[in-house]
Chains A and B, each alone.
Chain A
């Protein structure tokens, strides 16, 4: 089995594009876990993520001929997944489209680095994932696109429908919201323990 991005997976993609069913099966096996995780991080429930993964691969199958082979396959795949997840949230009317693009409200402060270091030190990956689940859909989507699938600022701007210059603001606000959730859960845990 080949890992994404290797020469072997490039060959699998080429064969799948040519209509090779076996290659399509291989392609699915290689990329399905990553896409499922992406959807799991972006959508509210596990069932949603399962459905979304299937839908994403249906779209990939239907549009494989549109994929530009000169660009990384994973970028295209994540773009399809992000598009689908964001669209699902829109249909459910649980995403927030009306966040202001007011650059004046950008936090330009210099936070206490030691306090931040301490927070990061104390939190486990699992706690971060739980905190992510509690974020508003837009913040979560932005963080997933940037820190899970490494999408560019241009791609994130395109997906969220904001100006490129505003992507940093969205990400920083999302990080602030995440810190707040982590701090509050930490305080709760400390209170509970005490």
Chain B
């Protein structure tokens, strides 16, 4: 729009007119503008046009072209409160469910295994029930118990919050959390030491757990508890009655550890005794001729040498494994090469999966007589890989087709699911909770008066939702890339793009053990939670809309 040449007088600029109309000018300036507008047709016309523009804007924005959505018509304080309760109840249910599974199934199995001794070479069994992670399960159980108590406490506070002032409530909550965090564990004392060089002398005895961080850590004395040691060089010449959890460059245990060793390190040398299990991610692990491991030895390393004695099984994922000592259980190893020297004794079966046939020296005493060897074939790997990629391609295509049908059938709900997934925290949290509690509820329904059909239906629904969960994550990725849309085919396209990207990412992650599984699990939980959240929002919608009086802005 250009300036009109109709008058020789200086016209008001648009900014000044706007500020005048919006009453933002000082009195003197406003008077000046008013006087000018009375004399100048062009400015008066522009002023009138801009005023009409303001009114048009206000009218356009205030018009009620769409009614209040049903979801909002029902959303009131009560809905808000019920949401809180549902979260609380679900969290409590999930915590109770996990605790019930632990106490009913895992703990008894573990106890039976402890009583009977563990002789198999099942890695999962080793890790979960007898391995060095056992303590972690105990901690997790305690954590869940604390969480359950917290849920009950917070629920009680919310229930009686009318009697508390807001500040008091907040103070009580914070105090409760602090108390839970600072509450001493069952084993009580926990000593921390930090410094360049830490030494527990021969005459010294530490009652309780020890956390030591330093360049060099030497334990000549006794620690009556667990030791968490992180440093460069760690030496244990004394006695640890619990476990040693460590991250270090070099660890040497010539003393005695009654519990387990678990660690991420460079070198582990073991001329001493470990009462239970050893699990190490390391470059080099050596069990010296005087070294003893009471139960299993599990290693993920480059070079493993066993000259001493292992009371249980040896599970090795190493490049090179050398056995010269005694293994009272079996051996299951994977890697490039394995050597069993003439001095070796292995009571149980020996299985090796590797590139070259293991070398077994004469004089070696093997309970099974010979090594059960499986050779890795380069071409079989290729075959399996190409098979995997074809399978992934088919899988991704079928997912995209399924998603296409679902989005086309339920475009609005599909959009709501993806929107819910944008709230990552709530989706992931809800995904974990519903993912765990739904099958428990289904089983409970089957064994109680609710009935088997309801239980089976719930379980099938759970499986279907779990199956379709990835589609939601696909839709979210598509939305991240192409932006939001309310168009059905736009949603289909975004979902397909997202699923295609997942289809590319998963095979890449397949190269790294566990990462692919973790990624898929995270995607499933995320999507599952988002569907649950969207369903919840749908369920809480009111049957009709509410026509509220217009609000004058």
Encode B516-553 as 1/0 by CB contact (under 8 A) with A. 00000000000000000000000000000010111111
The smallest beta-carbon distance between A54 and chain B, in angstroms, is 5
Interface assignment of B27: CB less than 8 Å from any CB of chain A: no
| Contacting residues, chain A, for B181 (C-beta < 8 A) | none
Instruction: Name B166's contact: one of A32, A65, A74, A113 (CB within 8 Å).
Output: A65
| Contacting residues, chain B, for A19 (C-beta < 8 A) | 162
Determine the main DSSP class of A at the interface with B.
Answer: helix
Do A148 and B419 touch across chains, with their CB atoms under 8 A apart?
A: no
Do A132 and B552 touch across chains, with their CB atoms under 8 A apart?
A: no
Q: Taking A120-B56, A144-B61, A153-B24 as contacts, is the C-beta distance between A53 and B12 under 8 angstroms? A: no
Encode B9-51 as 1/0 by CB contact (under 8 A) with A. 0011111001100101000000000000000001101101110
CA separation between A31 and B199, bound complex, in Å?
69
Number of interface residues of B (CB under 8 A): 58
**Residue of B whose beta carbon sits closest to that of A103:** B15
Summed over the interface, the residue pairs from A and B with CB atoms below 8 Å come to a total of 174
**Residue of B whose beta carbon sits closest to that of A144:** B61
Interface assignment of B513: CB less than 8 Å from any CB of chain A: no
Instruction: Name B551's contact: one of A34, A61, A143, A172 (CB within 8 Å).
Output: A34
Q: Taking A111-B1, A113-B42, A147-B54 as contacts, is the C-beta distance between A37 and B548 under 8 angstroms? A: no
Do B548 and A30 touch across chains, with their CB atoms under 8 A apart?
A: yes
Do A50 and B69 touch across chains, with their CB atoms under 8 A apart?
A: yes
| Contacting residues, chain A, for B78 (C-beta < 8 A) | 21, 25
Interface assignment of B196: CB less than 8 Å from any CB of chain A: no
Do B60 and A129 touch across chains, with their CB atoms under 8 A apart?
A: yes
Do A148 and B553 touch across chains, with their CB atoms under 8 A apart?
A: yes
CA separation between A19 and B54, bound complex, in Å?
39
The smallest beta-carbon distance between B69 and chain A, in angstroms, is 5
Instruction: Name A47's contact: one of B49, B64, B415 (CB within 8 Å).
Output: B415
The smallest beta-carbon distance between A82 and chain B, in angstroms, is 12
| Contacting residues, chain B, for A51 (C-beta < 8 A) | 419
| Contacting residues, chain B, for A40 (C-beta < 8 A) | 66
Number of interface residues of A (CB under 8 A): 68
Interface assignment of A169: CB less than 8 Å from any CB of chain B: yes
| Contacting residues, chain A, for B72 (C-beta < 8 A) | 32, 36, 50, 53-54
| Contacting residues, chain A, for B2 (C-beta < 8 A) | 111-112
Interface assignment of B203: CB less than 8 Å from any CB of chain A: no
CA separation between A166 and B29, bound complex, in Å?
18
Do B46 and A113 touch across chains, with their CB atoms under 8 A apart?
A: yes
| Contacting residues, chain A, for B486 (C-beta < 8 A) | 45-46
Do A25 and B76 touch across chains, with their CB atoms under 8 A apart?
A: yes
CA separation between A115 and B62, bound complex, in Å?
25
Residues of chain B in range 61-117 having any CB-CB distance to chain A below 8 Å = 61-66, 68-69, 71-73, 75-78, 80
Q: Taking A123-B56, A153-B24 as contacts, is the C-beta distance between A28 and B75 under 8 angstroms? A: yes
The smallest beta-carbon distance between A55 and chain B, in angstroms, is 10
| Contacting residues, chain B, for A117 (C-beta < 8 A) | 45, 48-49, 52
The smallest beta-carbon distance between B128 and chain A, in angstroms, is 40
CA separation between A157 and B255, bound complex, in Å?
70
Q: Taking A33-B550, A54-B75 as contacts, is the C-beta distance between A116 and B19 under 8 angstroms? A: no
**Residue of B whose beta carbon sits closest to that of A5:** B552
**Residue of B whose beta carbon sits closest to that of A108:** B13
Interface assignment of A114: CB less than 8 Å from any CB of chain B: yes
The smallest beta-carbon distance between A136 and chain B, in angstroms, is 14
| Contacting residues, chain A, for B12 (C-beta < 8 A) | 110
Instruction: Name A110's contact: one of B13, B48, B64, B552 (CB within 8 Å).
Output: B13
CA separation between A36 and B24, bound complex, in Å?
29
Interface assignment of B376: CB less than 8 Å from any CB of chain A: no
Residues of chain A in range 1-21 having any CB-CB distance to chain B below 8 Å = 1, 3-5, 19, 21
CA separation between A132 and B13, bound complex, in Å?
24
Do A28 and B45 touch across chains, with their CB atoms under 8 A apart?
A: no
Do A172 and B45 touch across chains, with their CB atoms under 8 A apart?
A: no
Encode B330-358 as 1/0 by CB contact (under 8 A) with A. 00000000000000000000000000000
| Contacting residues, chain A, for B60 (C-beta < 8 A) | 125-126, 128-129, 132
The smallest beta-carbon distance between A59 and chain B, in angstroms, is 11
**Residue of B whose beta carbon sits closest to that of A149:** B553
Interchain Cβ contacts under 8 Å between A and B, 8 examples: A4-B551, A32-B68, A33-B64, A33-B551, A107-B15, A132-B60, A153-B22, A168-B19
Extra contacts besides A33-B549, A36-B69 (5): CB < 8 Å: A30-B548, A41-B61, A112-B1, A115-B1, A168-B18
Q: Which 4 A-B pairs have the closest CB atoms?
A: A34-B551, A111-B1, A128-B60, A113-B46
